[in-house]
A and B are shown apart, each in its own frame.
Chain A
């Protein structure tokens, strides 16, 4: 008996919701182990999320990069590609955005072009960084995960080298030159918060990703390749082309995360000696969002709230910030261990068989 649509939908939602609950329970356990008061922590969380409009604004500030990175991971995953290289694409895009944002001076009257150019440069840089991985997969069959990881570290050191040799005014400064104000995204959507117009770019990107995936021939090809590369090839789809395009688009989306962060929030590239985990956040968001753009936005909001509230939870309830990483890890773990849940599903299915028989 074919299952009704809404039931299948419910099941798709059930796993991330259950995994999130498990994650939060572990988080509460950690708070208790740390000898802190979970009720106070919960109060701090609620206050940090909804206490004042500006605080909700800060949640959205944390949500913006998560929407992009989550979309980037989800998009690639649809083609059966695991883009663990979001971090590197993000970094290279920041560098490209800094170059355009600092050195390109838009002609009089065309200042509005500046953010578009800076964002475009970031997207292209991300697309190249991701596209290389897709190209090597299509051409030489090299697994995208290994190359993505390598490209992350190459990006880290390339960015560090460019920053230290070319992008900063002097050696004492741990950041690049500031972007010209014409390349900034305007803040102040909510008074008192640093919420910037990047939120509209993020939501717009989610819509575009949805359209590409589900309403265009390209999206159909991408999903066909993800479902079964062999069958797709047989059906006349160029798998190699799909792999390269998918990784390039995924990289472009990841790059936009870095660009928007630079243009809306930091206005410069800050020195970093370690990968900061934007890519890993994106993996969590994509999985919890069930690889669907709408789900990604919701999951980004959840993790954004967790991240944004970690400061106040620490200040008010003494909750260590590391608890957020632990919660995130547990959620990923339980979404990933599909066998754990299919066990439940199988048993349910078996029961149904018995009753229908």
Chain B
């Protein structure tokens, strides 16, 4: 073996943290949305538009910080569309999410062409700084996971948000504004999804690449389920999925062959199906997840 053990270990850890970051941020977004009772398969699209916006605003301002703000803003707008359709107009949340995902693909391609006059990707833009060799967004993701846990499980606000996802009628009876809490949940998923996108385009890279979310939003969705709709569970799940992604790279580095990389790629999805079926632990969604709330009076 030509490469030293510690070099490989360090490469593996860094690669895992990098792969985990966008997944974790998006998964946290999913936790907020679904804990409030709104299924959010739009994470993929929110992340993609956030990635585009991060690069775009960084490009026109020359500042990655403005890019970060722009990513969050556009993430919130995309999530806002999903929120209005599914909360106010009782849309099927899966259909609405699908529309958002499709819109994000069209929108980012359209703007790529419009702004930079090219397909494929943006030119290089300013990116967020590294701290001790690791990108800022890596720290942000883990700190936000902790903050999300405190917010959801250690504050009255968090209790309210979770109550409208479990039993909206009961929450309503207690004077909690179900719609307001659900908007908060979905819009927060826009913030997180936007950050996840920014971590791709102006965090780990310094450009937008067409279709760069590449299914990460769906892996994040799987991680959210695997992590039992819990912020700290999401940390564990995304670390596991991130590690499985970087393992294939490490195996190549170590010259281990014979295990097709596709197996590593499908691992998160297979594991999620197994846990949902109850073969590996058990994971149960919030009771009112995906059910539009219609106030009757």
The residue from B98, B211, B221, B285 contacting A332, defined by CB atoms under 8 A apart: B98
Q: Closest Cβ of chain A: how far from B141's Cβ, in Å?
A: 22
Q: Find chain B residues with CB under 8 A from A153 CB.
A: 215, 218-219, 265-266, 269
Which B residue's beta carbon lies closest to that of A273?
A: B214
Interface flag for A333 (CB, 8 Å) = yes
Q: Find chain B residues with CB under 8 A from A328 CB.
A: 102, 106
Q: Mark B263-283, 1 if CB is under 8 A from A, else 0.
A: 101100110110011100000
Residues of A within 8 A of B (CB): 30, 33-34, 82, 84, 136, 139-140, 142-143, 145-147, 149-151, 153-154, 157-158, 160-161, 164-165, 274-275, 277, 280, 283-284, 287, 320-330, 332-333, 335-340
Q: Find chain A residues with CB under 8 A from B114 CB.
A: 33-34, 320
Interface flag for B96 (CB, 8 Å) = yes
**Count of inter-chain pairs, beta carbons less than 8 A:** 146
Which A residue's beta carbon lies closest to that of B290?
A: A143
Decide: B110 and A30 in contact? CB cutoff 8 A: yes
The residue from B88, B103, B262 contacting A157, defined by CB atoms under 8 A apart: B262
Q: Find chain A residues with CB under 8 A from B105 CB.
A: 277, 322, 325
- Report Cα–Cα, A239/B292, bound state, in Å: 23
- Report Cα–Cα, A326/B276, bound state, in Å: 33
Number of contact residues on B: which range applies?
35 or more
B 90-116 contacts with A by CB, 8 A: 90-92, 94-96, 98-103, 105-107, 109-110, 113-114
**29 contacts across the A-B interface (CB closer than 8 A):** A30-B110, A140-B277, A142-B276, A145-B94, A146-B221, A150-B222, A150-B272, A151-B269, A151-B273, A153-B219, A158-B266, A160-B262, A161-B260, A164-B260, A280-B102, A320-B113, A323-B106, A323-B110, A324-B106, A326-B106, A326-B107, A329-B102, A329-B103, A330-B99, A336-B91, A336-B95, A339-B88, A339-B90, A339-B91
Q: Closest Cβ of chain B: how far from A260's Cβ, in Å?
A: 23
Residues of B within 8 A of A (CB): 39, 41, 81, 84-85, 88-92, 94-96, 98-103, 105-107, 109-110, 113-114, 211, 214-215, 218-219, 221-222, 225, 260, 262-263, 265-266, 269-270, 272-273, 276-278, 285, 290
Decide: A326 and B94 in contact? CB cutoff 8 A: no
The 4 A-B pairs at the shortest CB distance, nearest first, are namely A325-B106, A339-B89, A322-B109, A329-B103
Which A residue's beta carbon lies closest to that of B276?
A: A142
Q: Closest Cβ of chain B: how far from A83's Cβ, in Å?
A: 11
Decide: A280 and B221 in contact? CB cutoff 8 A: no
- Report Cα–Cα, A142/B282, bound state, in Å: 11
- Report Cα–Cα, A338/B85, bound state, in Å: 9
- Report Cα–Cα, A184/B137, bound state, in Å: 52
Which A residue's beta carbon lies closest to that of B106?
A: A325
Q: Closest Cβ of chain A: how far from B240's Cβ, in Å?
A: 15
Interface centre among B84, B105, B225 (most CB of A within 10 A): B105
Interface centre among A151, A280, A322 (most CB of B within 10 A): A322
Q: Find chain B residues with CB under 8 A from A143 CB.
A: 276, 285, 290
Q: Find chain B residues with CB under 8 A from A164 CB.
A: 260, 262
- Report Cα–Cα, A115/B137, bound state, in Å: 53
Q: Closest Cβ of chain A: how far from B206's Cβ, in Å?
A: 23
Which B residue's beta carbon lies closest to that of A155?
A: B266
Decide: B277 and A150 in contact? CB cutoff 8 A: no
Interface centre among A147, A157, A275 (most CB of B within 10 A): A157
Decide: A161 and B106 in contact? CB cutoff 8 A: no
Q: Closest Cβ of chain A: how far from B52's Cβ, in Å?
A: 12
- Report Cα–Cα, A292/B96, bound state, in Å: 20
Q: A146-B225, A330-B103, A336-B96 are in contact. Are A154 and B110 (CB under 8 A)?
A: no
Decide: B95 and A283 in contact? CB cutoff 8 A: yes
Q: Find chain B residues with CB under 8 A from A275 CB.
A: 215
Q: Closest Cβ of chain A: how far from B249's Cβ, in Å?
A: 16
Q: Find chain A residues with CB under 8 A from B84 CB.
A: 337
Decide: B214 and A274 in contact? CB cutoff 8 A: yes
Q: Find chain B residues with CB under 8 A from A140 CB.
A: 276-278
Q: A153-B266, A332-B95, A336-B85 are in contact. Are A34 and B110 (CB under 8 A)?
A: yes
